[in-house]
Amino acid sequence: MQLTKRAFIAAGFSCLLALGAPARAETIAPLVIGTTQVPRHFNGAVQSGLATGMVSTQLFASPLRFDDKWTPKPYLAETWDVSPDGRTVTLHLVKNAVFHDGQPLTSADVAFSIDIIKNNHPFKTMLAPVESVDTPDAYTVVIHLSRPHPALLLAMSPALMPILPKHIYGDGQDIRTHPANLAVVGSGPFKLVSYKQGETIELERFDKFFLPGRPKLDRVIFRILPDKNSLVIATERHEVNMLPFLTGVLDVKRLQKAPGVEVTAKGYEGIGPLNWLAFNTKKKPLDDVRVRKALAYAVNRDFITQKLLGGTAKPSTGPIVSGSPLFEPNVEQYKLDLKKAELLLDEAGLKKGADGSRITLTIDYIPNQNEYQRNIAEYLRSAFKRIGVTLEVRAAPDFATWAQRVSNFDFDLTMDSVFNWGDPVIGVARTYLGSNIRKGVIWSNTQQYSNPRVDELLEAAAIETDPAKRKALYSEFQKIVVDEVPITFINVTPYETAYDTRLTGLPDSIWGVLSPLDELTWSSGAAK
Amino acid sequence: MSASLPTTQTGAPQGVASPAGTALRLFLSNPIGLGGLIILVVLVFAALAGPQLYGVDSLDIVGMPFQPPGDDPILGTDYLGRDILAGLLQGGRASLAVGFTSALITVVIGVAFGSLAGFFGGAADTLLMKITEFFQTLPTLLFAMVLVTLFGQHLVVTTIAIGIVSWPPTARLARAEFLRLRGLEFVKAARASGAAPAYLIWRVILPNAAPPIVVSATLAVGTAILFEGALSFLGLGDPNVMSWGLMLGQNRAYALDAWWTVMFPGAAIFLAVLGTSLVGDAFNDAINPRLRKR
C-alpha cells in the first residue's frame, strides 16, 4: 500500500511541477550532450580537436560564424571588410559583448587572441600571414596580412578563433597550462559551472550574452562516457538528448530505429573528416609511384563503403572533401582493377616468389576506431593478398603508440583519419606541403610526399583572392595528388548527430555542434 | 653411483603394484574424465587437420559480411566477410597452441622455483618465495596486458606473457610437495647413499611430486586459453593470427546483430576449457588415493 501512496504523492508533485512550468523559465529541461571525448581543457585557442572544440565553442564567442552554405555570418563582428588587395581585413565588433565576469569584450581582446592563436595553435598555416593587428578604437580590429589570405574568414570560426579575455590571460602565465583554461571566462552563450574530470561538464546560460534572447536553453550538460555503446543506449533511453560525432554503422542504424530520436549527417561539412590509406613514400618499394598505384587499384572502395560500412559512408576520391566548394570530382577514380595492379607491380620489378607473394609490407591503424580503421586495414590484408602483396597488420595498443610510429616515419602503410577543417589552407595543405615534413608531428606530411609543383600550387592558392582562380589552382593540386598516390582515399567518415526529436534550432552550419548552440531549445510542450 | 639407488617407484609410499597403471585404469573408468578427453582429442584433431581439409584461409574475405550460418559458408561470415568455420579451425590451432605452450612455461618456471625452494629451504627458499610472492601479488590480467603492450601484439608474446603471469601457484604447489617429500624415508635413503642434490630433485623427488603438478598443468591449459581470449577480447590479440579469442574480441561489437560471429568461437573456448578441466579433475581423482572410492 505504501507503494501506491508514494506513487500518488509523486503524481501529485509532478502535476504541480507541470502547472508551474510555463510560469518559470528555469524549468526548461537541461540539454544533455553525450560524448566519449575527455577534454584536457576548454581553451580552443591553443588546442585543436573535437573534445575541446565542442565545449570551447559554447564558452567562447568568435568573430564570425558560418551557415550551412559556407557563408560567413556576423557573430562578435557585426560587419567586416576585406581590402581590395586582400591584405587588410577590418572587423567591426558588436558593442554589447561582455565576458562571463562582466568585463566588456573589446578589440584589445581580439588582437590578443589572434596573437595567442598564431603562436600556439597547432594549425600553423591558419594565421601564418598575419603580420600585425591594429586596434584603432575599442570596437575596430584591423588585421594586416603579409599576403592575401582568403582562408582567414574560415579561420575566424567558433572552433578556431575563440576570443580570450586579455585581462585574464594577459598575466604572463603560460597559455597552455593557464588555470583559466579549466576555469573559463569567455563571452559565449554559456558559462562553465563545473567540470568533473572525465564525467560531466556542466554549462549554464550566460544572461548577458550579447545576442538578445539567446541562448534559449538554461543548462547544457556534457556527459562523458568512456564507452560508445553506453552512449548509444543512453540516447535510446533519452538520458542523452544529443549525441554528435556518431560514426558506428550499427550504432547509426540502431539510433535511426529508436523512437523519438532523429539522426542527421548535416553539420560536418566544415570539419570534412576523411578516412584514408597513407603510404610512406620515402620507403622502398613505396617510393615507386607504380607500386602505390598498384595498391590503389587493388582497393575495392565500393565493397568498403557499401558492405563493410553498410552504405553509411560516401567514398572519397581526393584530398578535399566532396562537400567543399573546392572539391574536384574529375580525378583518377582507381576503380578496382587487379590485372592493372599486377601489371604495375611486375613493371616495378616486384615479381611473385614461389609462395605467390611479391613482398611483405606492414599496415598500421588508429586504435579504437574499429569500423573505419582496423576493419579496413584487415580488409586490405585480404585484398592485397590477391595481387601478391602480403600485408601484416600492426596493432597499436593506444593512440600515442600509433602516432609515435607514424610521425617518426616508422611505417609502410597506415590507415589515417584527417580533417579538412574548412579551408584547404587550414586542414589540407599540411598533409602535402614538402615544407611540412616534420618528424615527430602527427598529421603533418607524415607520408613525406614532396612535389615542388604541388607546393607551388598550394602556396599560390593560399593567397589567391579570386574564387574561380583559387578553385582552378586547387583543382590542379587535387589531380596531381590523386595521380601520385601518396594517399589512397577511402571514404568520408560519416559523422552523424543523433538528437531528441523534441529539440528545435539545431545549428544550421557547416560546423554543426562546433557552433554555438544559442538557438537550440525544446519545442513547445516538450517540458520533460 | 646411480645403480645402487632406489628407484622412484619402489620409494613411493603407496607401493601397490603399479600406481601409474592403477591411475590410468581409474581415469579411463571415469566417464566424466573420458568425456573430457574425447572433447580435447576432437578439438586437437580439428585444429591440426581441419585447416588443410577445409582449405579456406581464415584471414581471407570470402563473401559479404555477416552472412548467417546455414548456407555457404556453413557457419556464416564475420564483420569482414571471413569464413567463421575457417576461423574456428585455424583459430583452434593458435588457441590450443597458446594453451599448451603457456601451461608448459607455467610448469617449467613453477617447478624450477618450487623445487629449489622446497628442496634447499632456508635462504634459497626465502629468496625464491619472495620473488614468487612478488609475481603473485601482481594482478595477472593487468600484468599480462602490460607485457603485451610493451613487447607488441604477437602470439609468441601473448603466450610467454600468460606463462609468466601464471606460474606462482604452480611454484607454491611444487614447493609444498618438495617440502613434504624431502623428509620421507626413501629420499633420506637416497641422500644417505650419496646422491647429489640435482639427482635427488630430478630423479627422486620430482617423479613423486609430479601428479598434482600434472593436474595443475592440465587445468592451466584451460586457464591459458581463457586468458588468451580475455586479452584478445580487450583488443590485445595478434591481428595476424586467427584465434578463438581474436574472433570473440573482434566480433563482440556485433554480437547483438550477428550472434553466430561470437557464439561459435565462444562455444569452442567453452568446450576446450571444459575438456581440460574435466580431464584435470578426473586425473586428480585417479591419482589421489583418498578420493578413489568416490
Nearest to A443 by CA among A48, A16, A158: A48
pLDDT value at residue B2: 42
Q: Which chain B residues are within 8 Å of A397, Cβ to Cβ?
A: 148-149, 153, 235-236
Task: Give per-residue burial for A359-384: e unless 16+ CB within 10 Å, then b.
Answer: bebbbbbbbebbbbbbbbbbbbbbbb
Min distance A36 CA to chain B CA atoms (Å):
16
Whether pTM exceeds 0.90: no
CB contact at 8 A, A379 and A301: no
Instruction: Write the DSSP string, A336-359.
Output: --HHHHHHHHHHTT----TTS--E
Residue-wise pLDDT for A86-121, tens only, equals 999 999 999 999 999 999 999 999 999 999 999 998
CA–CA distance, A383 with A336 (Å, rounded to integer): 10
Q: Per-residue pLDDT for A16 more than 80?
A: no
Residue at B134 is within a domain? yes
- Selecting from B236, B240, B254 the residue whose C-beta is nearest the C-beta of A397 gives B236
Record: contact B253-A307, CB cut-off 8 A? no
Element containing residue A240 per DSSP (H, E): none
Record: contact B60-A385, CB cut-off 8 A? yes
What confidence category does residue A18 fall into, taking pLDDT thresholds of 50, 70 and 90? very low
Interchain contact B253–A (C-beta under 8 A): yes
Interchain contact B148–A (C-beta under 8 A): yes
Q: Which chain B residues are within 8 Å of A236, Cβ to Cβ?
A: none
Q: Which chain B residues are within 8 Å of A307, Cβ to Cβ?
A: 64-65, 81
Min distance A378 CA to chain B CA atoms (Å):
8
- Tell me which residues of chain A, numbers 283 to 312, contact chain B at a CB-CB cutoff of 8 Å: 307-308
Locate cell 601564418: which residue? A128
The amino acid present at A338, given as its one-letter code, is: L
Record: contact B61-A382, CB cut-off 8 A? yes
Residue at B294 is within a domain? no
Percent of chain A at pLDDT exceeding 70: 94
Q: Which chain B residue lies closest to A304 (C-alpha atoms)?
A: B80
What confidence category does residue A522 fall into, taking pLDDT thresholds of 50, 70 and 90? very high
Top-confidence residue, A114 or B135: A114
Record: contact B236-A378, CB cut-off 8 A? no
Q: Which chain B residue lies closest to A365 (C-alpha atoms)?
A: B239
Interchain contact A383–B (C-beta under 8 A): yes
pLDDT value at residue A526: 55
Q: Per-residue pLDDT for A470 more than 50?
A: yes
pLDDT value at residue B18: 63
The amino acid present at B204, given as its one-letter code, is: V
- What do you get for the CA distance between the two ends of chain A, in Å? 28
A58-62, A272-276, A524-528, B225-229: which has the minimum mean pLDDT? A524-528
Residue-wise pLDDT for A136-156, tens only, equals 999 999 999 999 999 999 999
Record: contact B153-A395, CB cut-off 8 A? yes
Record: contact A383-B64, CB cut-off 8 A? no
Residues 6+ apart with CB under 8 A from A339: none
Record: contact B235-A395, CB cut-off 8 A? yes
- Selecting from B60, B64, B238 the residue whose C-beta is nearest the C-beta of A307 gives B64
A9-13, A194-198, A260-264: which has the minimum mean pLDDT? A9-13
Element containing residue A111 per DSSP (H, E): helix A107-120
Interchain contact B257–A (C-beta under 8 A): yes
What confidence category does residue A27 fall into, taking pLDDT thresholds of 50, 70 and 90? low
- Selecting from A381, A394, A395 the residue whose C-beta is nearest the C-beta of B59 gives A381
Min distance B50 CA to chain A CA atoms (Å):
21
What confidence category does residue B290 fall into, taking pLDDT thresholds of 50, 70 and 90? low
Q: Per-residue pLDDT for B15 more than 50?
A: no
Q: Which chain A residues are within 8 Å of B240, Cβ to Cβ?
A: 381, 392-393
Rounded to 10 degrees, what is the CA torsion of A245, A250, A255, A258?
A: -170
Residue at B26 is within a domain? no
Residue-wise pLDDT for A349-408, tens only, equals 998 888 889 999 999 999 878 888 999 999 999 999 999 999 999 988 888 889 899 999
Beta-carbon pairs below 8 A across chains A and B = 50
pLDDT value at residue A401: 87
pLDDT value at residue B203: 81
- Domain of residue B105 covers 31-58+74-289
What confidence category does residue A24 fall into, taking pLDDT thresholds of 50, 70 and 90? very low
A52-61, A458-467, B215-224: which has the minimum mean pLDDT? B215-224
Most confident of A165-169, A245-249, B164-168: A165-169
Top-confidence residue, A80 or B80: A80
Min distance A415 CA to chain B CA atoms (Å):
15
Residue at B8 is within a domain? no
Interchain contact A379–B (C-beta under 8 A): yes
Domain count along chain B = 1
Backbone angles phi, psi at B281, to 5 degrees: -65, -45
Min distance B151 CA to chain A CA atoms (Å):
10
Interchain contact A344–B (C-beta under 8 A): no
Interchain contact A131–B (C-beta under 8 A): no
* ipTM of this complex: 0.75
CA–CA distance, B107 with B101 (Å, rounded to integer): 10
Q: Encode chain B in three state secondary structure.
A: CHHHCCCHHHHCCCCCCCHHHHHHHHHHCCHHHHHHHHHHHHHHHHHHHHHHHHCCCCCCECCCCCCCCCCCCCCCECCCCEEHHHHHHHHHHHHHHHHHHHHHHHHHHHHHHHHHHHHHCHHHHHHHHHHHHHHHHCCHHHHHHHHHHHHCCCHHHHHHHHHHHHHHHHHHHHHHHHHHHHCCHHHHHHHHCCCCHHHHHHHHHHHHHHHHHHHHHHHHHHHHHHHHHHHHHCCCCCCCCCCHHHHHHHHHHHCCCCCHHHHHHHHHHHHHHHHHHHHHHHHHHHHCHHHCCC
Record: contact B253-A383, CB cut-off 8 A? no
Record: contact A393-B240, CB cut-off 8 A? yes
Interchain contact B80–A (C-beta under 8 A): yes
Hey, of B59, B67, B80, which one would you mutate to test binding to chain A, going by the most A CBs within 10 A of its CB?
B80
Hey, of A299, A302, A307, which one would you mutate to test binding to chain B, going by the most B CBs within 10 A of its CB?
A307
Interchain contact B149–A (C-beta under 8 A): yes
Nearest to A118 by CA among A93, A152, A74, A70: A152
Average pLDDT, chain A: 90
C-alpha cell recorded at residue A366: 588508429
Record: contact A382-B64, CB cut-off 8 A? no
Q: What is the mean pLDDT of residues B57-86?
A: 85
Instruction: Count how many Cα atoms sit within 13 Å of the Cα of residue A466 in the half-sphere of its side chain.
Output: 5
pLDDT value at residue B178: 86
Q: Which chain A residues are within 8 Å of B80, Cβ to Cβ?
A: 308, 375, 378-379, 382
CB contact at 8 A, A329 and A322: yes
- Give, in degrees to the nearest 5, the angle at Cα B227 between B62 and B144: 110
Q: Per-residue pLDDT for B192 more than 50?
A: yes
Record: contact A397-B149, CB cut-off 8 A? yes
Rounded to 10 degrees, what is the CA torsion of A14, A15, A18, A20?
A: -110
- Selecting from A367, A370, A397 the residue whose C-beta is nearest the C-beta of B253 gives A370
Residue at B21 is within a domain? no
pLDDT value at residue B288: 67
Burial of A165 (C-beta count, 10 Å sphere; 0-12/13-18/19+):
buried
CB contact at 8 A, B72 and A395: no
pLDDT value at residue B252: 82
Q: What is the mean pLDDT of residues A452-480?
A: 94
- Give, in degrees to the nearest 5, the angle at Cα B255 between A398 and B60: 70
Interchain contact B17–A (C-beta under 8 A): no
CB contact at 8 A, A483 and A317: no
CA–CA distance, B187 with A450 (Å, rounded to integer): 76
Hey, of A302, A305, A336, A379, which one would you mutate to test binding to chain B, going by the most B CBs within 10 A of its CB?
A379
Residue-wise pLDDT for B233-245, tens only, equals 888 888 888 999 8
Q: Which chain A residues are within 8 Å of B239, Cβ to Cβ?
A: 374, 378, 393-395
Residue at B7 is within a domain? no
Q: Tell me the three state secondary structure of residue A14.
A: helix
Nearest to A281 by CA among A139, A450, A135, A119: A450
Could you tell me the CA-to-CA distances from A315 to A305, A330, A514, B80, B187 in Å, in that order?
6, 14, 24, 18, 76
Residue at B12 is within a domain? no
Q: Which chain B residues are within 8 Å of A298, Cβ to Cβ?
A: none
Q: Which chain A residues are within 8 Å of B236, Cβ to Cβ?
A: 395, 397
Q: Which chain B residues are within 8 Å of A398, Cβ to Cβ?
A: 149
Cβ atoms within 10 A of the Cβ of A126, count? 27
CA–CA distance, A280 with A192 (Å, rounded to integer): 43
Cβ atoms within 10 A of the Cβ of B100, count? 18
pLDDT value at residue B8: 45
Instruction: Count how many Cα atoms sit within 13 Å of the Cα of residue A398 in the half-sphere of its side chain.
Output: 6
Q: What is the mean pLDDT of residues B245-254?
A: 85
CB contact at 8 A, B201 and B182: no
- Where residue B279 sits, what CATH number does that domain have? 1.10.3720.10
pLDDT value at residue B200: 83
Cβ atoms within 10 A of the Cβ of A257, count? 10
CA–CA distance, A426 with A421 (Å, rounded to integer): 6
Could you tell me the CA-to-CA distances from A286 to A241, A281, A296, A418, A489 in Å, in that order?
47, 5, 12, 21, 16
Locate cell 574564387: which residue? A467
Record: contact A368-B80, CB cut-off 8 A? no
Q: Per-residue pLDDT for B12 more than 90?
A: no
